[in-house]
Structures are given as C-alpha cells and as structure tokens.
Structure 1
C-alpha cells in the first residue's frame, strides 16, 4: 500500500519516463505537468490527470477494516484508484512536431507499461537532490507497494474526446492521447491495527451445497382456504431442511414443526409471529449450518426463492352511534392500503367500499364514521370485512350460507 503521495508520484514518474525519450525525438522538447488548456510556445508533451475512478478489479478485495462494533482497527482502510491522463502534444505543426512527439510517447509507454521501482527510486532521488525536483515527493513510498502501477491506453471515441475537450473553456483542440494508470492503492497511515487472535483449534465442516427451493406455500388444513394468523403454512419444494431451518414470513422468523423433518415439505404454525402483517407477504426458507463439534455453532447458509402468500386479517367489530371500529389480529402498516367492505349477507357481494384515511402509524385498529343508508345500501344488517392490500378478512356463515358475523346495522 502507499501513502497519499502515490498519486503525485505516478504523475512525476510519467514525466521522468517520457522526458529523455521525447527530447531525443525532438531536440529541446520538454515534458511538463499542467492543465491542457494552458498554451505553450515551446515543443513538448503535457501530462494532465483529468479524473480518478475506483479500480473495478481491486475494489472488492479489501476485508472489513474494523471489528463489528467499529471500535478496533483491524486493518488500515485502503482505496484502489485508477488515474486517467490526457497527454497533449505541442510544437510547430508545419514541422510535424506534435506527431513526432506522439509517436515517441506511444512507443515509450508501450515499451515501458509498468512504473517500476527503479523509475520511482529516480523520482525519489531527484526529490532529495540539490537542487531538488518535486521536493515534496521525498517521503513517497510508492516503490514499496505490494503491486506495481501499470499504464495502458484508455481509448476514447471521437464523441467522448470532444466532450472531454469541451470542459476547457475556449481552448482549441490539441493532438492528444488518453491513458490510465492503475491500480494505485492508497492507505491512511494513522492508527495501529490490532492483529486478529490466532486460530486455537481448527474446525472443518464439509457439506454439499443445496439451495432450498419453494414450489408452493398453502394453508395446511385446506389448500383452497385463505391463510390467517391461526393457520399452519404448508411449504412444498426441495432441499427445505438444513442443519437449522427457519421460515421468514415478511419480517417474522418462524420455526417449522419439530416433528416435520422432510426435505420436500415442511409445516410452520403462524401463531406467535409477533411481527406478522396482513396482506401479501414473501415467504423464504433459510438454512443455518452448524460448524464444529456437536452441537455446533450456527453459521449463515442458503436461502430459498421467495414465494408470495396473502395473509388475511381476522377482525372484531365495535359499533356505536357515530363510529365503526374494526380491530385486527394482525398489524396493519401505515403505508398499506386499507378499505372496509359492506357485504350482502345472502350473496356476499360488496355493496359499499369505504376507504380508510392514511394511518399515522402501524396499528391494529381502524375507525371510520358509521355508515348510513343511501343509494344501493338500504337500511338493514350487513356483513363487514377489512381489506388490507387486497387481503380480505373472512366472515362466518351458517348452514344456509348466510353471513352471521361480523355484522353492522345501517340505520
């Protein structure tokens, strides 16, 4: 890794590499580091770093720099960057000076694509010489980096090159070439990392990788019946059983029935899911591995594909002179869409649907003005159903199919 001077050292190394080669190609030519819109009357090559980017190859190599609680430095944070350069060539066009300098530069960078330790050592030596060149680079440690910096062409289309030159206000185009130097790994020098504790007892666990797959998730008592908080969810698929298995229904984690050890079908009671919500919920089977001696320590494993299940609320109704209040056995989220349906007791058809105003917070109770008779809804008794994101609470019926509850009387 390198300190913050590595970026400037790369630019100085390019200048040091190209200087003798361009002066040999064109007598008196120089190499300078300046903005590309600065006019130069003499012959030479200008090196301008116009942007940086994270190195796509190395950016995922770094391990977490601190412990999980964030208090202990385990490794110094490192950032791998790529340096993008615009090289412009100056001189008399009638003598083809820019083209001669371009040819010398292309040949030099193709022949020496690596900024080696010898070249960087020359830059460091010149920084400490009398008189010094780039004296501020005396403390650079790029030569000690684990990996060398490679310089390669960064070809641009004519459209991209024209956009790059457009950022230089009222500056005419100069013959140019684009290169990228990567990867320059920068490291903050402050702080002393604490070594990880040694491995006292190695543990090896071997198992085949088998991702659980869900094909269906239905009410175990009746696959055609809705799924409620009192239901047992029957999940069918393959590879469903791991060392430890949990079933996630929305934000709720549930444990399958202990007696159910099958790999193609498991059952999980929804009762007890404190965070279970009404509406469409994703169902996922998650495995944990047990690593080491029995009983083993749980480690994260595979998770299945999600399958949507509509969980219906079950409600109780309270009516007074002015207000109809419905209490759900499941939490209703403040962002969910909630309506109340009044049903024909004989056919079950929805005669009126009332939107519940937006909720201020998650709740289990919704209230709205008591409905009154009107067009399409004469006075009488009607079934009441709460609809949360399309999940409609069930009603009870007698032997003849008439709705017996919950009910509301419309005056």
Structure 2
C-alpha cells in the first residue's frame, strides 16, 4: 500500500524511463511532464508526458470492503485502487524522423520492462528533490505495470480535442495499473484469540453431507399415513401436522427451530424418535389445542431450521419460510348502524400487540377497529357495507390469511368444505 504521493511518484518514474529511452534514440532529447503544446515554436526533440485520466481499478476497487461497521466505526483501512492513463506526445524534426525514432525507443523499453521496478521508483523520488519526500510507493506489494492502450481514431480525436487549440502530434497512450492509496486512518487492532472454541479444541472438522430442507407438507392428523398424500394446506394452523421433507435429516438428537420474523420469538421443538427419518420430520402443531399451544404460537411467518447433533457436533440445515395462519372460531352477528356494519371475530392463536390485523371480505380489506393488543377477539367496522349472503371472510395477520375451508369428519381421503365459521350474511 502507498500514500497520497503514489500518483505523482508513478508519473515521475515514468518520466525517467521515457527520458532514458528518447535520449538513447535522439541526441539531446528529453522527457517533460506537461500537457501538449498549443503551439510549436521549435523542433527540439521532446516527449511530453501528461496524465489525462484516472479510473478505479475494476479488479480491486471493492477489495477493501467493508471498511466500516454499522455504527460507523472503522473496521479496515480504506484503500483506493486506481488505474492511471497517460498520453505521450512526441515532438521533433519530422524530416529527421525524430518523433518516430523516440516513439520506437519508448515502446521498446516499456515492452521489454513493463513493470515499474522499485529501484526506478527510489531514483525518481530522490531525483525530484523534496517534492516526493515521504512517498512509500517503492514499499507497495502491488507493482505498477504499464500496458499500451489501443485507441481508435475516434477516441484519439476526442482525447486531443480536450487540449484547446493544441495541434496533433504523434502520440501513444499507456495505462499504469494498479496504484493502491491507503487512507491515513488506522483501524483498531483485533484482540488476540485466547480460546479456540469450547475447551480450546480449535476448529471441528465434520465430514459428511449437511442436512438440507427441500419442502414441507401441512395436513390434518387424520390423514397421516394415507397414500397418496393429500395436497398440503397453504399454511400451518393449530391442530395441523407439519412434515419437513429433505435429505440427511437423521441424527442422535434432532430438533426444529421456529423463529417468528415479526415478533423475533424463537422456540425449539425436540423431535421424537418415531417422528423422524433421514428424509422426513413430523411435528404436531398444537394438536392438543390447549391454552399452552395457543400462547406458544402466533400467526405470521416463521423461519424453520432443522438442528441435528451427532457425537456432540451440531449441524444446521438451510432455512425455509413457513406461513402460520389464524383460525376463526366464530363471528358475532353483524350489527348494522346506518350503512355501516360491525363484526366481532373470535380466533386463535391470539394476536400480539405489534402485529397488523385486517379482515378480508370480497374485494375489501378492513383494518381492526380496536388497538391491537394480545387478544383472541377483534372488532371490525365495514363502512358502507354491501348486502351479501354467505360471503367468505378471511382474517389476515402479518400477511397470512386464515384458511376458509375445513376438513369434514371421517376417514381419509379428506373432503374439504367451506368453513361455516367464516361465512357472513349482511342484510
């Protein structure tokens, strides 16, 4: 890495290389660091070196990221990776072919030694007096390399057009890459490692395939074991059975972690021995439908992860999103006040205070009237309510709708009908 003097140091070093090349080709020739002339007063042999563009290096421009933490504190010293674009314009007596002779000498030397040697950099720093004192480019681990740029006639004409009233001269463009410039800020040093994991045992190497979740199936307990398997419910509910399907799901201890995205609540269920195989894991969600189950679960989206432990070494599977819907148990008779109708919906599990609840009826979505608290009952006011008969309603909590159907009692295969608890009639 190098400091802010790196660009000027590269230019000075390139001037030395160019000066040595042209002076060997034409007696008395010299290299100057300046823009092309607006007028030519003499035929003195000279090459004018001009840095006309600086661009980010495509390969290393993001190599230092991230440089700062979320708090804004410095994590890593920022480094700018740059490419330098130079134009070399050759002047001299055209009848003696001096510009062409100098151009050939420069191309010869830069092709033979395209890498900017550290000794050349040191010589450039010392020869320019105090201008480049403090430059540490010679200590950078990335050495600068010069490559010729193939500019089309259009690109070359556009480049020369930026030099106001400067007549065209024989020229060639080179790119110097890569220049790394460090920030002057120093990142705090990391604390030394005192212990490598539990009991200072270092890295655990666990061979074999990792558990992988591919899909899930949600169904009624009455349909378990029936083949072909019934279609999956679109979301889990209290009283349903969740089957996780994947690969390498067997182990000494298998548990499933449910993390509610909105509430940030995590619960882990240990899978019974007879409910797991290498490809499937079965979990009954509140099968008992008791108060504990209603308090443990919440509608919304869960992130599901399978945790497998063999020989004291835990492994985690990939994650699957699981929608969990509320279940409407009753709708109080609608009360019409003028053109508005009030509905009271009873459901489980309870909605939490930070959750968003709304009622879907036909093409309308009505927000809950009462402030949302931890309750299993919500009131909705349908303004300018239409007259409907046996209209299906859905309770939407955190983006997951209640299921408007239910399974009829009886042996499998299951037969689904619309749930009478989710129908309303407004007169």
- Secondary structure of the 1:226 match is coil
Q: Is 1:13 the equivalent of 2:13? A: yes
- Secondary structure of the 1:120 match is helix
Indicate conservation of the 8 Å contact 2:304/2:321, yes or no. Answer: no
2:365 is aligned, of 356, 367, 386, to 356
Indicate conservation of the 8 Å contact 2:91/2:99, yes or no. Answer: yes
Indicate conservation of the 8 Å contact 1:398/1:404, yes or no. Answer: no
Give how far 1:36 is off.
Answer: 5.8
Give how far 1:193 is off.
Answer: 4.1
Cα pair distance change 1:7/1:215, threshold 3 Å: same
* Aligned twin of 2:281: 266
Indicate conservation of the 8 Å contact 1:286/1:303, yes or no. Answer: yes
Q: Is 1:239 the equivalent of 2:232? A: no
* Aligned twin of 1:224: 232
* Aligned twin of 1:371: 385
1:179 is aligned, of 169, 174, 187, to 174
Give how far 1:118 is off.
Answer: 0.9
Deviates more, 1:34-43 or 1:198-207: 34-43
CA distance in 1, matches of 2:206, 2:237: 36
Aligned residue pairs: how many? 371
**Uncovered stretches (5+) of structure 2, i.e. residues with no partner:** 224-230, 286-292, 410-415
Cα pair distance change 1:81/1:58, threshold 3 Å: closer
The within-5 A match list for 1:7-406 is: 7-35=7-35, 43-54=46-57, 56-57=59-60, 59-60=62-63, 62=64, 77-91=77-91, 94-95=94-95, 96-128=97-129, 135-156=130-151, 174-191=169-186, 193-194=188-189, 196-200=191-195, 201=200, 203-208=202-207, 210-221=209-220, 223-230=231-238, 231-240=240-249, 246=257, 255-259=268-272, 262-267=277-282, 272=296, 276-277=300-301, 285=305, 304=318, 311-315=324-328, 317=331, 319-321=334-336, 322-325=340-343, 340-341=360-361, 353-356=362-365, 367-369=381-383, 371-373=385-387, 377=388, 380-386=389-395, 391=401, 393-395=403-405, 403-406=419-422
**Uncovered stretches (5+) of structure 1, i.e. residues with no partner:** 129-134, 342-352
CA distance in 2, matches of 1:313, 1:170: 77
- Secondary structure of the 1:114 match is coil
- Secondary structure of the 1:137 match is coil
TM-score, normalised via structure 1 length: 0.69
Give how far 1:137 is off.
Answer: 0.8
CA distance in 2, matches of 1:171, 1:229: 79
TM-score, normalised via structure 2 length: 0.67
Cα pair distance change 1:14/1:267, threshold 3 Å: farther
Give how far 1:203 is off.
Answer: 1.0
- Secondary structure of the 1:151 match is strand
Give how far 1:37 is off.
Answer: 8.1
CA distance in 1, matches of 2:16, 2:25: 15
CA distance in 1, matches of 2:284, 2:171: 70
CA distance in 2, matches of 1:246, 1:160: 61
Cα pair distance change 1:142/1:24, threshold 3 Å: same
CA distance in 2, matches of 1:69, 1:185: 26
Aligned alpha-carbon RMSD (Å): 4.6
* Aligned twin of 2:413: none
